[in-house]
Amino acid sequence: MDAAYVFRVEFRLTPERAAVDPERFETTVELPASEPGTDGWLRFRDRLWRGAVGDEPSFRRETAARLGVADAAGIEVSAVDFRELRTDREYLEALQTAIAADLGRFNAESVDDALHKYFGSSIHVREA
């Protein structure tokens, strides 16, 4: 079982003693998805809505801390955009089963409705 949340992360450099060009750049960050039913598996419910990051300022701070640049002078995480849940079929099926077991928690009428509420159309299943 393998899955990751994929984000586009933009950094801005503002060094005090140098000029940089470009001052902004972006990269792709993959955060491993917790196994459904385990600690942290509800990250998507708590942080995403219709395929977009909710409360982006706090998520930028969280991302900077996770990447080890939160306290780095002259480096700012200036944007974070959710791209996709990149998953294999086994993880997606486990996720669907976990959601179905407690559908009320997602305020949804079906598993597909719950997935769409949080991921939009941004689930990418990769075959092994």
In this structure, what are the phi and psi dihedrals at residue 16, rounded to the nearest 5 degrees?
-80, -30
- Based on its alpha-carbon atoms, the radius of gyration of the chain, rounded to whole angstroms, reads 17
Look at the chain and report how many structural domains it folds into.
1
Q: What is the pLDDT of residues 9-67, one digit of tens each?
A: 999 999 888 999 999 999 999 999 999 999 999 999 999 999 999 999 999 999 999 99
pTM for the whole structure: 0.91
Cα 42 versus chain centre, distance: 11
Q: What is the DSSP letter of 41?
A: T
Q: What is the pLDDT of residues 81-117, one digit of tens each?
A: 999 999 999 999 999 999 999 999 999 999 999 999 9
Instruction: Look up tokens 């976990």; give the residue.
Output: 98
Domain that holds residue 17: 3-125
